[in-house]
Amino acid sequence: MSDGAPAATLHELMRTQRAIRRLRKEPIPDAVLERILVAGALAPSGGNVQPWRVVVVRDAGLRKAIGDLYRPQWAKYGAGSRKGLSALQDDARAKQERMLEAADYLGEHMGDAPVILVVCFNPGHMAITDANLGRPSVVGGGSVYPAVQNMMLAARAEGVGCVLTTLLCFEENAMKNLLRIPPEWHTCGVIPLGFPERGGYGPTSRRPVKKLAYGDRWGESIKI
């Protein structure tokens, strides 16, 4: 990794890896962007094949075009998410409403983010061991999303806001045409990057370990 990377510890970074959806237009310095991309390049993948690429979109016209594709997708998805609000209790509802407001902001302003990362993958370079199990396959993601998480952790370390969105898979053909992505490569995530407009990174609400980890068998509490 280049010199100049910040020195916060891993756990401080993970504990505060919030989704940041309100981003400033101010450009991201090249050295900062490079450290974020290097972090992705360092991630492990099946057979060390690294079957992903990232198109780093800074051109204003292309960013606007991506924003224009994203806006109606979020409008539709956000409307669906709002339907679930009334079922939530007050605290959870208020929190979800704040998230949706920020997501609405991103829905309108995706194209204003100074950098948009478009993550691509090639299934022909992957051993997808759960391809034929009669249930949705996720294993291909095991060679892509560790790199995504590395880039997002590195962004957090730099104080650069970001969030992973996968809604633009609904516009995959348009995205491939726009960015001249070859037929055998596909898109699996779009990450707007920018310095935070508001408070930025901070504590997150995640489930405690005891709700996510079992001891020896499913449902058995873990003794640690």
Residues of this chain, 104-123, that bind its own copies according to CB under 8 A: 120-121, 123
Q: Which two tokens stand for residue 158?
A: 């730099």
195 is a site residue for its own copies (CB under 8 A): no
130 is a site residue for its own copies (CB under 8 A): yes
Choose the binding region for its own copies from 64-72, 104-112, 138-146, 193-201 (rule: CB under 8 A): 138-146
Q: How near is the Cβ of 217 to its own copies at its closest, in Å?
A: 5
35 is a site residue for its own copies (CB under 8 A): yes
Nearer to its own copies, 5 or 24 (CB): 5
141 near 188, Cβ under 8 Å?
Answer: yes
Choose the binding region for its own copies from 85-93, 104-112, 125-133, 192-200 (rule: CB under 8 A): 125-133
Which residues lie across from 186 on neighbouring strands?
121
Among 21, 23, 40, 66, interactor with its own copies by CB under 8 A? 40
200 is a site residue for its own copies (CB under 8 A): no
Look at residues 28, 4, 1 and name the one whose alpha carbon lies nearest to residue 150: 1
Nearer to its own copies, 14 or 94 (CB): 14
| Gyration radius from the chain CA atoms | 18
User: Residue 216 corresponds to which amino acid?
Assistant: D
Q: How near is the Cβ of 153 to its own copies at its closest, in Å?
A: 6
35 near 154, Cβ under 8 Å?
Answer: yes
The full DSSP string for 157-194 is: HHT-EE--B-GGGGGHHHHHHHHT--TT-EEEEEEEEE
Among 21, 23, 57, 160, interactor with its own copies by CB under 8 A? 57
Choose the binding region for its own copies from 28-36, 64-72, 106-114, 192-200 (rule: CB under 8 A): 28-36
Chain residues 151-170 in contact with its own copies, contact rule CB under 8 A: 152-154, 157, 164, 166-167, 169-170
Look at residues 105, 97, 119, 106 and name the one whose alpha carbon lies nearest to residue 166: 119
Rounded-to-integer distance, Cα 4 and Cα 15, Å: 22
Among 89, 90, 91, 217, interactor with its own copies by CB under 8 A? 217
Residue reference for tokens 């790199």: 147
Neighbours of 61 (CB within 10 A): 10
Rounded-to-integer distance, Cα 143 and Cα 139, Å: 8
Among 55, 110, 113, 160, interactor with its own copies by CB under 8 A? 55
180 is a site residue for its own copies (CB under 8 A): yes
